[in-house]
Structure 1
Amino acid sequence: MTPNSSGPAYTIQTPRTLIRCWSPADAARALRAIESSLDHLHPWMDWARNYPMSVAQQAAVLRRFRGLFDLGQDFTYAVVDRSGMEVLGGSGLHPRVGEGAREIGYWIAAEHAGQGLATEVAAALTRVAFELEGVRRVEIHCDPRNVRSVAVARKLGFTHEGTLRKRLMAPDGVYRDIMLWTLLAEDYRASPAAASNLEAFDVLGQKLL
């Protein structure tokens, strides 16, 4: 597998979601989803400590996400419903885990949790990472106590490489363990993620997958 020369997938359609590059115009919708989910997010998402914030502040965050996306430096996605009107959560394909690899992060708004959306989104991004970006490895990092995130990694056929003890500071100021889950290119075709039902498009709307 080799990277696609058309650039990253700006929009990915799955059966229930659109996974697309954030826009500053999403600020009010993003705030509604995040601020209604803070109790749900605080135990696991360090960035949730930055809320509440104003629409203008949220727009600035999304402008930064979009800028990094357009520069090919980091790929943070909105997860919205198929109409594009409601933010269901967020995700990302992050290159911070080294050359030829991506880390998938994800969160789902409390109202939509427990419906399998995180698995659907993570499967789609795993397929995009291997088939479009030609990576050698995809990783998921999560707190061992975050049973929903652990379940996503297991369902998609990722391997638990190990648990890093007291590696990151949690929002409550306590250092927490981090589980490292990986899927390698040679194992990808046998994983459930390879069967992900999706269509992917570049910045011009041209179909990639």
Structure 2
Amino acid sequence: MRPPERIALGDILLRRWTRADVTPLHTAVIESFEILRPWMPWAAQRPDPVEQRTYVGTTISQWDADEAYIYGIFATDDGQLLGTIGLHDRVEPGGLEIGYWLHADHTGKGLATRAAEALTEAAFALPGIERVEIHCDEANTASAAIPQRLGYHLARTDSEKPEAPAETGRRMIWIKTRQRTTDREPRS
């Protein structure tokens, strides 16, 4: 069982990547490079279109192999790429990790929070998933605000070698369990 390939959230749509998304993805990464480079190890240098084509191909293969479920975040009115978010099978069994980034022009509008909330719900709809995690460096306060808003709890902070220029090497591990989700107060 997999999460849905499309998740409609009113003015935004989370949609599984297709090969047609390579050019919009490349454009979004280039336009957002200065805000991505400090936090994303994969943004150490500006990507070229070949790398983006490889990335999209990898996301398609990972989805088909049930290793990761990566979505583009698109505006429903004009189809513009706003960012990306995904469920990754890179934590202990019974859990998935959510990772995300937004185009520089679309940060601070609650889009990543809405998308992360939808993917948290999608993850818990999958059999065997009891825990969803969000990892971010301690200095990345914008990223850390998202799990806090969604009722995740800070389980621990691990010391790791920094992988991107702005990282401190203190990785916060935010966790939400299936029980915490079902007990949560409704959002107003």
The answer to whether TM tops 0.5 is yes
Displacement of 1:26 in angstroms is: 0.4
How far apart are the structure 1 equivalents of 2:38 and 2:16? 26
Identity over aligned pairs, percent: 34
Q: Which amino acid aligns with 1:123?
A: E
Superposed CA deviations along residues 70-102 of structure 1, whole A, max 9, x for unmatched, are 121211111111146211001110111021100
In structure 2, the partner of 1:202 is none
Displacement of 1:153 in angstroms is: 0.8
Q: Contact between 1:106 and 1:118, CA under 8 Å: does it hold in 2?
A: yes
In structure 2, the partner of 1:91 is 85
Displacement of 1:60 in angstroms is: 2.1
Unaligned runs of 5+ in 2: none
**Residues 125-204 of structure 1: pairs in structure 2 closer than 5 A:** 125-165=119-159, 167-172=160-165, 176-191=169-184
**Residues 15-94 of structure 1: pairs in structure 2 closer than 5 A:** 15-54=10-49, 56-83=50-77, 85-94=79-88
Q: Which amino acid aligns with 1:30?
A: L
Three-state SS of the structure 1 residue aligned to 2:47 is coil
Q: Contact between 2:138 and 2:168, CA under 8 Å: does it hold in 1?
A: no
Q: 1:149 to 1:31 in 2, by over 3 A?
A: same
Q: Which amino acid aligns with 1:12?
A: I
Displacement of 1:191 in angstroms is: 3.3
Q: Contact between 1:168 and 1:178, CA under 8 Å: does it hold in 2?
A: no
Q: Contact between 1:25 and 1:59, CA under 8 Å: does it hold in 2?
A: no
Displacement of 1:195 in angstroms is: 6.1
Displacement of 1:173 in angstroms is: 9.0
Unaligned runs of 5+ in 1: 197-209
User: What stretches of structure 1 move > 4 A for 4+ residues in a row?
Assistant: none
How far apart are the structure 2 equivalents of 1:195 and 1:66? 33
Highest relative contact order (Cα 8 Å, sep 6+), 1 or 2? 1
Displacement of 1:172 in angstroms is: 2.8
Matched residues, number? 188
Superposed CA deviations along residues 104-132 of structure 1, whole A, max 9, x for unmatched, are 00101110000011100100000000124
Q: 1:68 to 1:84 in 2, by over 3 A?
A: farther
How far apart are the structure 2 equivalents of 1:17 and 1:149? 19
